[in-house]
Structure 1
């Protein structure tokens, strides 16, 4: 299964204690990079989240966001009356020393640690709900990566077929190209030499034909293309393998271009390099 490294997933989960919203964003990267933004109450989940992602993903820059909105947060607050009374008595003692005019106001009292008390929270149940929602978000992300991966594989497959057709076309042009080159050289030598050495001429033409022969390059091109198509069918991370094959394809296309002895062969080499570059760009997004 071909997977893209580019995807996005969002999952909401409502519980009695509040609402979770998970967002997972994935973009291409040479390695697996994990980044988390979690509320303070859920930071201890990070090691588990990290292990889960490492087991199910292989490459990509992954950003994980969690937002939690507590249900009826304001209704769950209560005032620690005993602490407020103690603070007030302490303030009276201070006033007796420094004089009036520095009384504590209500807001400053509420800001004092421990004055406001929240309703008791079942942390274990809350974290279990959060993890269940995360699993759903991760499954959605993987499905999106696979869906886009299928599209990338189809594009690469199409360009492989076009490269195959171009390599066959190049092979079919070679006999005519060699014959034309032979005729061209013969005319040049006939003009320069009154009595040309036909044996030596034949040897030079054979050497030229060998140098201009592209059969080896086109054979390797087709072999590499077959390997790319085989890699696309593997059920494993294939991005790095495909990236290497793009380098090899480009190497053969460059050699073919350097050997081209006619403009139509040069155009084929250029078209091949364009197709290979298009595949290479797509491969950068594959896991």
Structure 2
């Protein structure tokens, strides 16, 4: 399976039972799978099936499904909304004697929004069933196109993730061989610091100096952090190569990367190692930003 992004858009159109329709689906990042539908009046029965189509293809993302239907020919019936008309007439009666204005005409009142409504002529059961089936077929096509678009974007993000993983691996390798990690280097720095403090490092015995250097080396040891970072690199590569809905796992792994980089910086006993740790944190932040887009 390939990696998939959580963002995408697709549209499918069709015609049936004397009507043209369009189905649009769009998705953006989300913690889980959140499906919202926007359907024209009279088509609420399609919602369950549209949700099923989405769930069968997607596992994460905030998804909006919009359906619009337009009849090919004018039809239906016009009816008078008596409640709305009475409300308007009562308002006119309340204004009598208070406002100096010409009385509204009959056609003016009927032109007010809500006084006259138009209803589409209902379809016979067979035509309605055919239209609903055609809309669902178009919706399935739109969801397939959306899935393809998300996979294409996921492929591009996967290349970026691999580049960031390679950068992290190179930085771990640099920290691995850095001479500042050796006990000899720590002992030499300690000797120089003592010389600056007391003027003569020889005042402290070599055995005591070696013990202090060993203690400092133990506190500054980043062997465990480097091993974990190396293991995380391998895990990340396996997840990316395996594909599928691995966004949550990659996000958790990015947090673990960051935890080890923070510990490495806190244990660092040399400016160069600290610089490597900061570069690690920057690469991990870039990795995590991209991981947020993965399904």
Shift of 1:32: 1.0
The answer to whether the 8 A contact 1:159-1:279 is kept is yes
Shift of 1:264: 1.7
Aligned in 2, Cα 1:64/1:204: closer, same or farther, shift over 3 Å?
A: same
Give me the whole-angstrom Cα distance separating, in 1, the residues matched to 2:123 and 2:193: 99
The answer to whether the 8 A contact 2:77-2:121 is kept is yes
Matched, 1:154 2:175: no
The answer to whether the 8 A contact 2:183-2:214 is kept is no
1:232-243 to 2 correspondences below 5 Å:
232-243=240-251
SS of 1:233's equivalent in the other structure is: helix
Matched, 1:7 2:12: no
State which drifts further: 234-243 or 9-18.
Answer: 9-18
Match of 2:279 among 265, 271, 280: 271
Name the counterpart of 1:46. 47
Shift of 1:79: 8.8
SS of 2:21's equivalent in the other structure is: strand
Shift of 1:151: 0.9
The answer to whether the 8 A contact 1:7-1:25 is kept is yes
Shift of 1:186: 1.6
Equivalent residues, number: 261
Matched, 1:227 2:228: no
Match of 2:140 among 135, 141, 158: 135
The answer to whether the 8 A contact 1:34-1:63 is kept is yes
The answer to whether the 8 A contact 2:157-2:290 is kept is yes
Give me the whole-angstrom Cα distance separating, in 2, the residues matched to 1:79 and 1:26: 38
The answer to whether the 8 A contact 2:219-2:267 is kept is yes
Name the counterpart of 2:86. none
Matched, 1:19 2:20: yes
Name the counterpart of 2:67. 66
Give me the whole-angstrom Cα distance separating, in 2, the residues matched to 1:112 and 1:162: 68
Aligned in 2, Cα 1:196/1:70: closer, same or farther, shift over 3 Å?
A: same
SS of 1:205's equivalent in the other structure is: helix
Name the counterpart of 1:96. none
The answer to whether the 8 A contact 2:265-2:274 is kept is yes
SS of 2:269's equivalent in the other structure is: coil
The answer to whether the 8 A contact 1:177-1:262 is kept is no
Give me the whole-angstrom Cα distance separating, in 1, the residues matched to 2:167 and 2:25: 36
Name the counterpart of 2:101. none
Name the counterpart of 2:100. none
Aligned in 2, Cα 1:47/1:117: closer, same or farther, shift over 3 Å?
A: closer
The answer to whether the 8 A contact 2:3-2:154 is kept is yes
TM-score of the aligned structures, taking structure 1 as reference length: 0.82
Task: Point out where structure 2 has 5 or more consecutive residues left out of the alignment.
Answer: 80-105
SS of 1:41's equivalent in the other structure is: coil
Q: Deviations over 1:82-140 (max 9, x none)?
A: xxxxxxxxxxxxxxxxxxxxxx87x96xx7789x8737451011011101100010001
Shift of 1:187: 3.1
The answer to whether the 8 A contact 2:258-2:284 is kept is yes
Give me the whole-angstrom Cα distance separating, in 1, the residues matched to 2:30 and 2:117: 45
Name the counterpart of 2:56. 55
Name the counterpart of 2:173. 168
> Which aligned runs of 4 or more in structure 1 are off by greater than 6 angstroms?
111-114
Shift of 1:261: 1.8
**RMSD in angstroms over aligned alpha carbons?**
2.7
